[in-house]
Amino acid sequence: MLIVMKPDATEADIRRVLDAIQTLGLKGHPMPGAQRTAIGITGNQGAVDPSPFADLPGVAECVRVSKPYKLVTRDLRPDKTVIRFRDTGAEIGGREFAVIAGVCAVESREQTRSTAQAVAEAGCRFFRGGAFKPRTSPYAFQGLAEEGLKILAEVREEFGLKIVTEATDEPALDLVEKYADVIQIGARNMQNFSLLRRAGRARKPVLLKRGMASTVEEFLLAAEYIMAEGNYDVILCERGVRTFANHTRFTLDLSLVPEVRRISHLPVIVDPSHSTGTREKVIPLARAGAAVGADGLLVDVHPYPERALCDGPQALLFDMFREMMGEVRAIAEIVRR
Amino acid sequence: MLIVMKPDATEADIRRVLDAIQTLGLKGHPMPGAQRTAIGITGNQGAVDPSPFADLPGVAECVRVSKPYKLVTRDLRPDKTVIRFRDTGAEIGGREFAVIAGVCAVESREQTRSTAQAVAEAGCRFFRGGAFKPRTSPYAFQGLAEEGLKILAEVREEFGLKIVTEATDEPALDLVEKYADVIQIGARNMQNFSLLRRAGRARKPVLLKRGMASTVEEFLLAAEYIMAEGNYDVILCERGVRTFANHTRFTLDLSLVPEVRRISHLPVIVDPSHSTGTREKVIPLARAGAAVGADGLLVDVHPYPERALCDGPQALLFDMFREMMGEVRAIAEIVRR
Amino acid sequence: MLIVMKPDATEADIRRVLDAIQTLGLKGHPMPGAQRTAIGITGNQGAVDPSPFADLPGVAECVRVSKPYKLVTRDLRPDKTVIRFRDTGAEIGGREFAVIAGVCAVESREQTRSTAQAVAEAGCRFFRGGAFKPRTSPYAFQGLAEEGLKILAEVREEFGLKIVTEATDEPALDLVEKYADVIQIGARNMQNFSLLRRAGRARKPVLLKRGMASTVEEFLLAAEYIMAEGNYDVILCERGVRTFANHTRFTLDLSLVPEVRRISHLPVIVDPSHSTGTREKVIPLARAGAAVGADGLLVDVHPYPERALCDGPQALLFDMFREMMGEVRAIAEIVRR
Amino acid sequence: MLIVMKPDATEADIRRVLDAIQTLGLKGHPMPGAQRTAIGITGNQGAVDPSPFADLPGVAECVRVSKPYKLVTRDLRPDKTVIRFRDTGAEIGGREFAVIAGVCAVESREQTRSTAQAVAEAGCRFFRGGAFKPRTSPYAFQGLAEEGLKILAEVREEFGLKIVTEATDEPALDLVEKYADVIQIGARNMQNFSLLRRAGRARKPVLLKRGMASTVEEFLLAAEYIMAEGNYDVILCERGVRTFANHTRFTLDLSLVPEVRRISHLPVIVDPSHSTGTREKVIPLARAGAAVGADGLLVDVHPYPERALCDGPQALLFDMFREMMGEVRAIAEIVRR
C-alpha cells in the first residue's frame, strides 16, 4: 500500500503515519517529492487494511498497489530521484549528463592515476575501477582487492573524482562501502538477493547492473530489494542482454531506458563498453545512449589497452574518449532541451 | 574473386575484363569508386583462376575473397554506396539524414494524403505506405494491393515524395516496381531467396529489412543475393530482433549499424516503430538511431492511430513526428561533423 | 465461428450448412470426427451472425471462436488428424511412429539410391531428400531441381517409400506437387504467406517446419494459412529455435510437442538433425523426440557424410541410423502404452 | 597442466607429485580412474613448467591444457564421476536413474512428510525441498530457513531419503551443509563465485543448476570454481534457458546433456518442472530427459498444488508422479542397454 500525504502535511503528520505503520509490525518508506510526500509500506503479507491511516491528519489517500514493485515506482515518487554528492556538486539523474569512466580493473597505481587524470581533464566527475572482478574462470585475474580500493581512494583525493567500484560479495561490500562513493552490483549478482539486501543497508548509493537475461520487471524488483532495506539511492544500468546475435558480446537494449522512465523515478545509465566488447562500437553506442535519454554512461578507458588484464579490446584510448565526451554532451543537450 | 583496376584504367580496360569473365561463363560486377573500379566475380564453383586476368591492361591486382559475401564488402567498394533519386535530389546514404515516414498500411486516399502532407511539410523526401501487408493471421487485413499503390503514386505526384512500399511476393513485386521508387523486402521475407533474386533483377533500389533472428552474416548474404543479380542499390534496415525481453515487440539492435559500416559499403537505416511497438518509445529510439550513425529512419505516422487497421499503437501523431524530426536532424548533424 | 453438428447429422444436413455459409460469401471447412462433424467458417470480417445457422437441421451449436486460429484447433476437431497414404498403409499421426529419413540434398542417383535402400531396410516408410535447397549464400549448391525430383520418384518406385521434399517457391511447389508425396515448407519460408496459400491449394499433405524465431501462435497461424485454403493435411515439425546457446546450431524446443497437442489436432514431428548440427547429438535428441510424444522424426542419413554437399556433419551413418531406429521405436512404444 | 600417472603408479608416487606441486605454491587435484590417476594443477599464473614432474617415478606424461577448464574434463578423468551415498546405496551418475523429487518449498511438516512418503513409496532415494527460496520479489515467501531444514532432516530419518536443498548464500550454506546430503546452488547463483568457492570447501556433494543465460563453457567453469577448491562431487542440472519462446517459462535445452558428456566426467540431470512451469508438460519432458541420456531428474511434487506457496502449477500430483516414474525408468533402461 501507498499512503499519499496532503501537500501541506507537516513533518509531525508524516511521523505519526510512520509510527502507525511500525505499530503494525510493518516498515514505512517516506519519499518526499516536490508537491507531496508519499509513504510506501513493506513487510506485509497480503493486503494492508487502510483504515488505521485513512483518518490520520495530513493523509490525502491510501492507494492499493497491484504491481509487484512498490518503492521503485513513479506512483510513490512522481519526481525523478537525483543522486547528489554535495561536496563536489556531482550528481546522477539531475541536469548534468553523468559519465562514469575509468579502467575495467585497477591493475597498478600508475595505470589508474594516468587514466583518472585523463578522465578528470575531460570534465568527468566519476571514476570507475574494479578491485574485485567477477571472472567466469577461477583461474583469471580476480582484482587487487583492498589494495586496489586504496589506489582508488588516492585517485579520489588527487583528482576530486567520485569513485564507483564493484562489490562481488558481502565482505567486499564492507570494504567498498568504506573506500568508495558508489557501490556497484554487477550483472551476475543482480539476483544475489543477500548481497542486494546488504547493499540496501549501506550508506552509499548503489549502481545496479541489469542481469544478462533479466526482464524489466526482474530488474526493478532487484532494485526494490535494495530499497526495501531503506537505501533509496539506486542507479540502474543497462549493459546488454544475451541474444543469438554474435557480432557483439551482448545486445544493448536501449529501449530499457524509456521503459524505466515510464515506470520508475530511478536514474538509469548505459554501459556501451561491456555490451559491445569492441572499441570501435563503443562511441556510436555511447552516443545512442545519450540520445535515448539515459542519465549517463559507464565507459572503459585504458592508457594501453593491448596490455590490459581484463577486457582490453573494449577500452577507449584517451583521445577517443575525449572525442566521445564532446559528442555525448552535445547530444544530451539536444535531448534535454 | 575480386579484380582491382588501376586508378587510370579506362572504360575499355574494364570492358575487356568483363568480357574475359563472361567468356568463362561467369558474371562480372563492376563497382566504380572514387579512386578505382573493382570487379567482383560470381557464378564460379570453387576458386577462380586469376591467370586470365592478371596481365590484362588496367588490372592492378586479383584478390581472393575468403568471406562468404563478396559484393556487399568494402573490399570491393571502399566508398559508401549512395542511392540517388536525381529528379528530386533526394538520396539515401549521402550527406542528408534520410527519414522515410508514412503509414504502416494504406487504408484510404484521405488517410494517405493527410499523412503525406504532414510528412512533406516536415521536410521529408520519402513516404512509406504498405499496399501488401504480410500478416501473421490469414484473417487480418492484408492491404489494398494495386489500389493502394495507385494512391501512393498520386501522393508522389502531389507532394514530390519518393515512395517506399513492400513487395510480399513476385506478382506484388512486379506491381511495386511499376508504381514505387523503392521496393521494400520485409523481415519475414529476408530469406525468401526467390523474391530476393527477383528484386535483384528490378530496376529500382531495394530496402531490405533484417530478419527477426538473422545474424549480420545472414543479413549481408541476403543483400548479396540481390546484388548477385545485378542490382547494387540495396539499403539495409535494422528493425529489431527477437529476444526474451518483453517490454518491446522486438529488441532494436543498434550495434548492427557500426558492424555493417565496418564490413559493407551499403547504407543502413533504423526502424524504431516496428521494433518498439509503442509510440512513447519511438522518439527516443529514433534519436538513438540517428546518434549511432545510421543513414536514416523508417517511421510510422498516422493521422488518427486509434483507428489504424494495422500497428496503430506505434504510429506517431503529426506533432510528435515534427518534434522527432527536429531532434534527429540536430543529432545527425553532430554525428556527421 | 464454429458450427458443431449433432452426432446424427446427415450428409445432407452438412451440405445445407455449407451452402448457407457460401450464400454469405464465406468459406466453410467441414472437419469430420469420430463423434460429430464441426464446420469452421473463414473469410469473414468481424464476427459472424449465428442466426442463419442456429435452426438448420442437424446443427447442435454455434460457437464463437476468440482465438486467432480456428481450423488448427481441437475445438474444431477433437480427434487427432492422421495423414494416411492408403496404397502403402503408411501414416503420420496414427499408431505407428513415423520416421522420415534420407539425405539433406539429392546429389546423385547413386547416393540417393543407397541411402533409400538403407532407410527402407530399417523399416522406414518415408524418404526425405532435397532437390531445391534454400541456402544462406547465393554461391552455395542450390540443389538439382527437377533432375533431383526425378531421382526421388525412381527411388519411390524401387523401394516403396513415400517421398518428402521441400518446395522453396511457387514454381518449385508446382514440380514438387507433381513428383512427391509430401510437400515440405522450410523454416525460412514459414511466413512466406503466398507460398503457404499455394500449398493450401495443393492436393498433397504439407510438412511445415517451425521458423527459427517463431512462437507457437505464429506457427499455428502459418498452418492456418494452409488450411484456410482447403488443405487440412498439415504436419508440424519442430527443428530448433535461435537462442544464445552456441553448442548446437539451434536449440531444439521439445516442449512445443505437448503445447501443440494441447491446442491442435495436427500431427507434430521433430527434426534432431538440423537443430543440433552434429552427428553425436542426433541420436540422443531423436530418442528425446520420441519420448516427448512426437508423432515421428525427420532425420538426415548419408552414405559418406564427409563428402556431402550440404550439412554432412549432422548426417547419421547407416549403422548409427539402424541403432537409432531400434531405440526410438522402443521408446515410442512406452509412450503410447 | 595435467600430470597423467602410469597405470602402476603407487600411492607414494602420487604423493610425491602432489608434494612437488605444493612446493611450487600450486594446488594438485588427484583424480583416480579405472585405469590410471591423473593430477590437475591449479593456482598457476600462465603455463606450468613440466620439468619438475616429468622424471618423477610413476609419471606417464605431462599434458598442457589449452581449454579454460581443467578439472571438469574427461582429459583429466576419462571415467564418469559417480556420487555415492554409501549408507543407502543411492548414487547419482551410476547405473541407477536418479530421480530427486519433492516439494518446491518446505511449507509445513505435514506437507513435507506426505510428499516424502509418496516419493519414497515410488522407489526414489532422493528428496528435494526448499528451505531458502530465492524469490524475484522481496515481498514473496522466502522459505522456512532452519526450521525447514529440521523438517527435512526428520523426513530423512523417517523415510531413508537423501536430502537435496538449496543454499542461497554463505550463512545458508553453513546450515545446509549441516542438515542436508546434497547442497543445491540455484540458477541465479550460478555465477555467485564466492558462494561457489564456499561450496567447494564443503564436505557434501553440490548440485549446480545452469544459469538461465549460461553457455556450456560458463556452466562448466562454474563447476570448475567448486572443484578448484577441492570438492569434486558436482552434479550439473539443466533447468531451461531464457529465449523468446513464451509457451514455457524457460526453454529446456536437452542438447546440453550430450554436450556435457562429450567434455566432462560429471553427472548431469534435468529439471522438467521449473523449465516448463505447467504440470501437463512435466511428464513429457521428464521422459525426454531420460531419453536424452541424463543421469536423473529433479521434479516437483505436491499433495495439493493449488495451495502451494511457490510454483504450484508445475507440481505433479502423486498419481501423475507414479506414472512418470514407471515411464522414465523404462526409458532409462532402453538408453542404458
Tell me if D224 and A138 make a contact (CB, 8 A cut-off).
yes
pLDDT at B136 (0 to 100): 92
Tell me B316's DSSP state.
Answer: B
Tell me if A221 and D191 make a contact (CB, 8 A cut-off).
no
Collect all residues from B whose CB is shorter than 8 A from any CB in A.
Answer: 213, 215-216, 241, 243-248, 251-259, 262, 275-276, 280-281, 284-285, 287-293, 327, 330-331, 334-335
Which among B130, B108, B138, B140 is positioned nearest to B176, based on CA atoms? B130
Residues of B in contact with C193 (CB under 8 A): 134-135, 138, 168-169
Tell me if A291 and B293 make a contact (CB, 8 A cut-off).
no
pLDDT at D32 (0 to 100): 86
DSSP D150-172: HHHHHHHHHH-PEEEEE--SHHH
- Per residue, the 3-state secondary structure of chain C, as one string, reads CEEEECCCCCHHHHHHHHHHHHHCCCEEEEEECCCCEEEEEECCCCCCCCHHHHCCCCEEEEECCCCCCCCCECCCCCCCCCEEECCCCEEECCCCCEEEEEEEECCCHHHHHHHHHHHHHCCCCEEEEECCCCCCCCCCCCCCCHHHHHHHHHHHHHHCCEEEEECCCHHHHHHHHHHCCEEEECHHHCCCHHHHHHHHCCCCCEEEECCCCCCHHHHHHHHHHHHHCCCCCEEEEECCECCCCCCCCCECCCCHHHHHHHHECCCEEECHHHHHCCHHHHHHHHHHHHHHCCCEEEEEECCCHHHCCCCHHHCECHHHHHHHHHHHHHHHHHHHC
Alpha carbons C200 and C221: distance in angstroms, whole number: 13
pLDDT at A330 (0 to 100): 97
pLDDT at B1 (0 to 100): 84
Q: Quote the mean pLDDT of chain D.
A: 95
Beta bridge partners of D208: D185, D236
Between B251, B284, B330, which is nearest A293 by CB? B284
DSSP A36-69: -EEEEEES-SSPPPSHHHHTSTTEEEEE---SS-
Query: How much is the average pLDDT of A11-38?
Result: 91
pLDDT at A233 (0 to 100): 98
pLDDT at D93 (0 to 100): 97
What angle (nearest 5°) sits at the alpha carbon of residue D268, between those of residues D335 and C255? 70
Collect all residues from D whose CB is shorter than 8 A from any CB in A.
Answer: 42, 44, 68-70, 134-139, 168-170, 188-189, 191-195, 197, 211-213, 217-218, 221, 224-225, 228, 241-242
b/e map B217-233, b = 16+ CB within 10 Å? bbbbbbbbbbbbbebbb
Q: How far is B186 from chain C (nearest CA, A)?
A: 10
- pTM equals 0.94
Q: Give residue-wise pLDDT tens across range D98-152.
A: 999 999 999 999 999 999 999 999 999 999 999 999 999 998 889 999 999 999 9
pLDDT at B208 (0 to 100): 98
Do A101 and A28 form a contact (C-beta atoms < 8 A)? Answer: no
Alpha carbons D90 and D125: distance in angstroms, whole number: 6
pLDDT at B135 (0 to 100): 92
Alpha carbons C264 and A272: distance in angstroms, whole number: 45
Q: What are phi and psi of A238, to 5 degrees?
A: -80, 125
pLDDT at A273 (0 to 100): 96
Alpha carbons A180 and A200: distance in angstroms, whole number: 16
pLDDT at D316 (0 to 100): 95
Tell me if B288 and A284 make a contact (CB, 8 A cut-off).
no
pLDDT at C68 (0 to 100): 87
pLDDT at B202 (0 to 100): 98
Distances (CA, A) of A248 to A62, A282, D212, D215, D272: 47, 11, 19, 15, 32
Residues of D in contact with B242 (CB under 8 A): 244
Which residues contact residue B333 at a Cβ distance below 8 angstroms, ignoring those fewer than 6 apart? none
Alpha carbons C325 and C301: distance in angstroms, whole number: 12
Alpha carbons C27 and C3: distance in angstroms, whole number: 12
- Sequence ranges of chain D with CATH classification 3.20.20.70: 83-335
Q: How far is D56 from chain C (nearest CA, A)?
A: 39
pLDDT at A112 (0 to 100): 97
Tell me if A134 and D191 make a contact (CB, 8 A cut-off).
yes
Which among D92, D322, D323 is positioned nearest to D207, based on CA atoms? D92
pLDDT at D306 (0 to 100): 87
**One-letter amino acid of A133:** K
pLDDT at C64 (0 to 100): 85
C83-335 classified as CATH 3.20.20.70: yes
Would you state the cell numbers that stand for residue C265, as one nine-digit string?
489436432
Which among B226, B230, B163 is positioned nearest to B193, based on CA atoms? B226
Distances (CA, A) of D247 to C79, C215, C239, C267, D165: 23, 8, 16, 18, 28
Interface predicted TM-score (ipTM) of this complex, two decimals: 0.94
Do A174 and A180 form a contact (C-beta atoms < 8 A)? Answer: no
Do A308 and A141 form a contact (C-beta atoms < 8 A)? Answer: no
Tell me if C138 and B189 make a contact (CB, 8 A cut-off).
no
Collect all residues from C whose CB is shorter than 8 A from any CB in B.
Answer: 42, 44, 68-69, 134-139, 168-170, 188-189, 191-195, 197, 211-213, 217-218, 221, 224-225, 228, 241-242
Lowest mean pLDDT among A74-83, A212-221, B189-198: A74-83
What residues of chain B score a pLDDT lower than 50?
none
Residues of A in contact with C246 (CB under 8 A): 246
pLDDT band with cut points at 50, 70 and 90 for residue C88: confident
pLDDT at B73 (0 to 100): 95
Alpha carbons A191 and D168: distance in angstroms, whole number: 10
- Sequence ranges of chain C with CATH classification 3.30.70.1140: 2-63
Alpha carbons B243 and C215: distance in angstroms, whole number: 11
pLDDT at B88 (0 to 100): 87
Tell me if C194 and B221 make a contact (CB, 8 A cut-off).
no
Alpha carbons B21 and B15: distance in angstroms, whole number: 10
Could you tell me which chain C residue has the CA closest to the CA of B45? Answer: C139
Q: Quote the mean pLDDT of chain C.
A: 95
Res C65 pLDDT > 90: no
Q: How many residues does chain D have?
A: 337
Q: How many residues does chain C have?
A: 337
Residues of B in contact with D244 (CB under 8 A): 242-244
pLDDT band with cut points at 50, 70 and 90 for residue A322: very high
Q: How far is D243 from chain B (nearest CA, A)?
A: 5
Collect all residues from A whose CB is shorter than 8 A from any CB in C.
Answer: 242-244, 246
pLDDT at D202 (0 to 100): 98
Handedness of CA C72, C78, C84, C86 (dihedral sign): negative
pLDDT at A87 (0 to 100): 86
Would you state the cell numbers that stand for residue C278, as one nine-digit string?
552434429
Q: Span B2-63: which CATH code?
A: 3.30.70.1140
Query: How much is the average pLDDT of A255-265?
Result: 97
Which among D265, D276, D212 is positioned nearest to D82, based on CA atoms? D265
Query: How much is the average pLDDT of A15-41?
Result: 91
Q: Give residue-wise pLDDT tens across range A37-71.
A: 999 998 887 788 898 898 999 999 998 887 889 99
pLDDT at B63 (0 to 100): 86
Residues of B in contact with A262 (CB under 8 A): 280
